[in-house]
Amino acid sequence: MMIDAIEKLKGKTAIVTGGAQGMGFAVADMLADNGIKVVVCDIKGEDAHAAAEKIKAKGNIAHGVKVNVTVEEAVDGMVKETVDRFGSVDILVNNAGILKPTRIDDISKKEWDQVLDVNLNGVFLCSKAVLALMKKNNFGRIVNMSSSAGRSVSTLGGAHYTASKAGVLGLTRAMAKEVSQYGITVNAVCPGLIDTEMVRRDCTPEKIKYYESVFPIPRLGTPQEVAQLVMFLCIDSYITGASIDINGGDLML
C-alpha cells in the first residue's frame, strides 16, 4: 500500500528550501529518487545548483534556485520559476533555517530578528506563496521543519531558536486548519540532534559523544531518516496539523 501511495506522487513537483546540504539535501534527493521533480532552493545559489546537479546525475529531475526566504519578492520569484519550468508546485518542504547558540542576555535585537525572520517568517512567506496554486489543484503537501526545540527547549540554540521553532508549530496548526478542505495537508517534523554540517559545526566531538551516550537510541539521527519521515508525510494520509518527533527518544511526550 505504501508503494502505491508513493507511485501517486510521481511526476509531481516539490520545492525544498535550504536544500543544498544536510537534511534539506537528503529530503530533495529522496523525493527525486521517488519520481518527484525537485527544485532545490538555497540562499547560496551556487550550492543550490550543485546540489541539483548531484540529483540530476542519478537520472532524476531537479533544478537549483537561489532564494532568500525572508524576502517576499524573492520567494514569489522562486515559485514563478518553479511553475515556469515544471508547471506546478505540489509539495513544499520548508527546511531553510539558522541556528545561533547565543545566550539570552547577549542576544541583540538584530540577531533575534534575523533568527525569527529565517526560521518563522520564511515558512510563512513560502507557504503563502504556494497556497493559491495548491488550492487550485485541490492538492498540496506542506512539511515544515521545526525541531525538538519547538516542543521543549533547544540543546544547542539560543532562546530565539527555540522561540522560532515553537512558532513554526503554531503556524503549522493554524495553516492546517484553514487549508485542509482544499486537499492540502500541513505538518511539522521535529528532529532532535541530527548528524548534519550545522550540528558538527556548532557542537564539539566531546559534546556529541556525551549526547550519544544519554540518548535512548545512542547515536545521532541521520538526514536520510528525517527524509523518510518527510516522504511519508507527502503521501495521501489522514495526518494534518501534526508535529512528529524524530529524536532517538531524547524527548518523549
Q: Which entry of 161, 210, 211, 238 is annotated as an active-site residue? A: 161
Residue 171 to residue 204: CA distance in whole angstroms? 33
Question: Is 161 among the catalytic positions?
Answer: yes
2 class by beta-carbon count within 10 Å (0-12 exposed, 13-18 middle, 19+ buried):
exposed
Strand spans (E) along the chain:
13-17, 37-42, 62-66, 91-94, 140-145, 184-191, 243-246
Query: Do 27 and 93 contact (CB within 8 A), yes or no?
Result: yes
Cα 22 to the chain's mean position, in Å? 11
Q: Of 49, 122, 70, whose CA–CA distance to 38 is shortest?
A: 49
Residues involved in catalysis = 161
